[in-house]
Amino acid sequence: MRQKKTSYGIIGLGRFGQSLAQKLVDLGADVMCLDRDEEKISEIREITENAFVVRSLDKKTLQEIGIQSCDVVVVCMGENSDTSVLTVMKLLSIGVPHVIAKATSPDHGEVLQKLGAEVVYPEQDMAIRLANRLMTTQNLDFIELSSKIGITKINVPKEFVGKSVVNSNIRLQFGLNIIAIEHKNEVIDTINPEYIFEQGDILFLAGNKNGLVKLSNWLEEN
């Protein structure tokens, strides 16, 4: 049975926030965006209808917009550390289950972490990597090699345990290649087609990002 699609909120549409919103929408996510700049909201409405101009980030406004219905909210206002800290506190207090916040310094990040937020640091490529990680929840990590090619590592799916590499049909199904297998804390980088997957194995996969997303969707359905 397919799991409920995860929804995302983004507060602050600077370069980081815009890049993250665009990437999540490209990957098929439901995205809500908030910013005080009408022009930025107008631009982002080209990719998502759930975009709102907000003059104040008080708790009442956030609740009226419905940001608490999002599974994950990313606070992208690192330039004003006081505002980002207060916003994180309000989001957590209204019941947002997972808050991620952009930090501009280690001290800022430490405060955000103590409040209960996951912390990231502001670079555009970090936004792209974060989006891919959010949208492929079964993945342990994701590295973007180009606009089309990526590498990911995943826990071996239960459907593959007891099957050989060749019989798993990963390349045929998803167009992905296994470039390494971590087995009992040892990395196997020469892949034998007859290798039998075991519980606890970690697979390193490379290929087209469409294939990586297809694999993630398949994992969620099974």
Q: pLDDT tens digits, the chain, 222 residues: what are they?
A: 444 678 999 999 988 889 889 888 887 889 999 999 999 999 999 999 999 999 889 999 999 999 999 999 999 986 678 889 999 999 999 999 999 998 888 888 889 999 999 888 765 445 656 666 555 545 555 565 555 677 788 889 888 999 999 999 898 889 888 888 989 888 888 889 999 999 999 898 888 878 887 887 787 676
Cα–Cα distance measured from residue 134 to residue 120, given in angstroms and rounded to the nearest whole number: 13
7-133 matches 138-221 in fold: no
Nearest to 129 by CA among 23, 216, 13: 23
CA 189 to chain centre: 27
Give residue limits of the domains in the chain: 7-133, 138-221
Exposure on the CB side of residue 136, measured as CA atoms within 13 A:
27
Instruction: Tell me what pLDDT residue 67 has.
Output: 95
138-221 homologous superfamily: Regulator of K+ conductance, C-terminal domain (3.30.70.1450)
7-133 homologous superfamily: NAD(P)-binding Rossmann-like Domain (3.40.50.720)
CA 89 to chain centre: 21
Lookup: tokens for 195: 């290798």
Instruction: Tell me what pLDDT residue 127 has.
Output: 60
Q: What is the DSSP string of 21-84?
A: HHHHHHTT-EEEEEES-HHHHHHHTTT-S-EEE-S---HHHHHHHTGGG-SEEEE--TTSHHHH
Look up the pTM and report it. Answer: 0.61
Lookup: tokens for 44: 């982002």
Q: Is the dihedral of CA 190, 195, 197, 198 positive or negative?
A: negative
